[in-house]
Amino acid sequence: MPCLTRRPIFVTYLTVYSGDRMPPFYIGSSSLQRIVTGYRGSVCSKEFKSVWIAELRDHPHLFKTIVLDVHESRQDALQYEFELQTRLGVVKSDLFINKSTATVNGFLGMDVRGYRNPMFGKSRPDMIGKFPVLPATQRAKISKTRILRKVAVGSNNPMFGRTRPDTSAWISLMNRENNPMKTQACRDKMSLRVSGTGNPMFGKVSPQVSCLNCHRYGQLRNMKRWHFERCRFWEI
């Protein structure tokens, strides 16, 4: 047995199940220390999770784990696990307990298309009434718009054969060099108009108020925007 007192060694393993309640194989990755202490894998799929836990508890002799490869880092072991699962097509295979591939860089590989989707053939009673039903006239208008978008190609496009007006003169006028409203003298004049006594808030102090829900203090104009009846603690 290798020495486990140094830095952890990670492995990719194959767990063989000899019972008749699940498929026979499961591919995973973990540390060698966990495998030595009896770890067989973690199944999280809705189809096999409860059966996996029950079989491990009641019939642990039906499981056997084989180390396929050894790695120096967890990431390498995870990457090799993902490659094996992808190469063997474990998600769609009836020989593997795996219902998703390894999580590499935060992405899952579970196939939830069609009947594999947990919500396939089900309705959402909790969502009934939350979305308004559009009138028939509005639904017909939306359908017509979608159809027009698909056929508005070539000569059917309202802009077919037309040219847009030349806007270069307008763009040139709005440039800072030509726009009279953007000269330095004009900007200084506008700044002077709202500075000092010209500022509407000159000499005034915004009142400080407290939110009754979260007990935070702040200026009235800001508190009215984010607190009181709009406070996130309003329902508490």
| pTM, two decimal places | 0.45
What confidence tens digit (pLDDT) does each residue in 114-157 have? 776 777 777 766 666 666 677 888 888 888 777 777 777 777 77
Question: What range defines the domain where residue 38 resides?
Answer: 10-116
Of 24, 30, 109, 18, the residue nearest 68 (C-alpha): 30
d(CA 210, CA 208): 7
Domain presence at residue 127: no
What confidence tens digit (pLDDT) does each residue in 68-87 have? 999 988 888 888 998 898 88
Question: Which of these three, 116, 151, 172, is where a domain ends?
Answer: 116
- Tally the domains of the chain: 2
What confidence tens digit (pLDDT) does each residue in 187-213 have? 888 888 888 887 877 888 778 888 887
Identify the CATH number of the domain in which residue 16 sits: 3.40.1440
Is residue 148 within a helix (H) or strand (E), and if so which, with residue range? helix 136-151
- Is the pLDDT assigned to residue 61 strictly greater than 90? yes
Domain presence at residue 139: no
Q: What is the largest CA-CA distance in the chain?
A: 88
Domain presence at residue 181: no
Question: Which of these three, 69, 89, 116, is where a domain ends?
Answer: 116
Determine the pLDDT at residue 52: 93
What confidence tens digit (pLDDT) does each residue in 5-24 have? 456 689 999 999 999 999 99
Question: Which of these three, 94, 116, 138, is where a domain ends?
Answer: 116
Beta bridge partners of 71: 10
